[in-house]
Amino acid sequence: MTATSVLTVASAGSTLFGARKAAALYSASGTAPAIDVATDHGHLLHEQARAGTLAADIVMLPSDMIDDLVAGGHALEAGRIALGSVNIGAAVRTGASLADVSDRGALANALLRATEIVLTLAPTGEHMMGVIANLDLLPDVESRIRRFDKSVQVNAYLADVPAGALAFGPATEILAWCDKGVAWCGPILEAFQVVLPYAAAILDASRNKAAAQTFLTFLASPEARAAFAETGVST
């Protein structure tokens, strides 16, 4: 990768919206270079970074994936920053009654009442399948579970179906759809929660390391932290 006037960030979906807000703030300050934020499944970005095929300067992924990239020499420990954590929440279509998922009994009742339970095929969806099994509800609701590849597909489906469907996903992904037909119900109870920490690091293959470090330094600022917090990342 040769040095360019554009700094490329590859972000997992859960940090995408915060990254875009922070990039807009950074660009508005008149700081060069411009920031291009792209996204894909976190595990795919991780695999591409390990293979040396990820065309990016900075990668934003779950912290354990960043640990692995650093250990393998694919990303730099120097300048790495913690972005914050993302938890799992529930959502319904805008206008539907909000589901109570705040305790074990309420979550079980919400699942039993739902006309459909909408999940991803990604780790969040797998986790919720485990939660449903833990509640001994899988035989009762399995026929009503609908799964999609990505959270954006879950949200798009939820916004377009009759009231009664209940979806689960990363808080950041749901909150990004709150003006597009999806309503946030709140986080699931702590006993079943997965709070996934995310981090950002410079890829070893980057030829824009100095500019990338400047942007990572900005991401540690109160202004950038607030941008991530607004999207549902707990910083």
**Rounded to two decimals, what is the model's pTM?**
0.83
> CB neighbours (10 Å) of residue 105?
11
Q: Please provide the size of the chain in residues.
A: 235
H or E segment to which residue 154 belongs: helix 151-160
Q: What is the pLDDT of residue 123?
A: 82
Per-position pLDDT tens, the chain of length 235: 445 578 999 999 889 999 999 999 998 888 777 899 999 888 899 999 999 999 999 999 999 999 999 999 999 999 999 999 999 999 999 999 999 999 999 999 999 999 999 999 988 899 999 999 999 999 999 999 999 998 999 999 999 998 999 999 999 999 999 999 999 999 999 999 988 899 999 999 999 999 999 999 999 999 999 999 999 998 7
- Helix, strand and coil content of the chain, in percent to the nearest 5, comes to 45, 25, 30
CA dihedral 173, 86, 25, 214 (to 10 degrees): -130
Peptide bond into 222 cis (omega under 30): no
H-helix segments, 29-95: 42-51, 63-71
CA–CA distance, 95 with 112 (Å, rounded to integer): 20
| Domains of the chain with CATH codes | 6-85+197-230 (3.40.190.10), 88-192 (3.40.190.10)
CA 94, 97, 100, 106 torsion-angle sign? negative
- C-alpha distances (whole Å) from 103 to each of 57, 64, 88, 91, 179 are 42, 29, 14, 16, 27
Q: What is the pLDDT of residue 1?
A: 43
β-sheet bridge partners, residue 60: 11, 200
CA–CA distance, 106 with 189 (Å, rounded to integer): 9
CA–CA distance, 35 with 57 (Å, rounded to integer): 10
* CA angle (95, 100, 103) in 5-degree steps: 170
Q: Of 86, 113, 112, 94, which is closest to residue 172 (Cα–Cα)?
A: 86
> CB neighbours (10 Å) of residue 126?
12
